Amino acid sequence: MDSGPAIFVDADACPVKDEVVKVAERHGLPVTFVANGGLRPSRDPMIRNVVVSAGFDAADDWIVSNTGATDIVITADILLAGRCVEGGAGVLGPTGRLFDETTIGMATAMRNLNQDLREAGEIKGRNAPFSQRDRSRFLSALDQLVRQKMRERPS
């Protein structure tokens, strides 16, 4: 019996791994952390670690090929988010930002603009520090997305 969506985490440098586990445990959902290495082993049978090759986009490619429309993906990578949204998955950034059909186009455009500005030396490539407010917003957004995906799943 399918208990609901699975959660896939682009785990390289993800600051909300513990929060993902907390929400997943509350809803009884499996979590798969995908990274190029450096994952902490877990004894929890609902947590799976997948270590992919260090190849360019290897983790992204694995996530895209293993998620479906009922699943949830956690990533800060806008291009990966776009690929997952295209496949119907629910996608959330680590600050609680939802990526969907209505927001991914603007997010991609802003990413590309900022990359161009960094390459031109117009802006420095520093992200704002991750805050407790970001963590709180993420927990709330993930819980809401899980509930939405559970309602959407076929009976």
The domains of the chain, with CATH numbers, are 7-149 (3.40.50)
pLDDT of residue 147: 94
Q: Of 110, 111, 75, 77, whose CA–CA distance to 96 is shortest? A: 75
Residue 16 predicted with pLDDT over 90: yes
Q: Give the separation between CA 105 and CA 40, rounded to whole angstroms.
A: 34
pLDDT of 65-122, one tens digit each? 999 999 999 998 888 999 999 999 999 999 999 998 777 766 666 655 666 666 677 7
pLDDT band per the 50, 70, 90 thresholds, residue 1:
very low
What is the C-alpha separation between 150 and 39, in angstroms, rounded?
A: 28
Q: How far apart are CA 134 and CA 129, in angstroms?
A: 10
Global confidence as pTM: 0.84
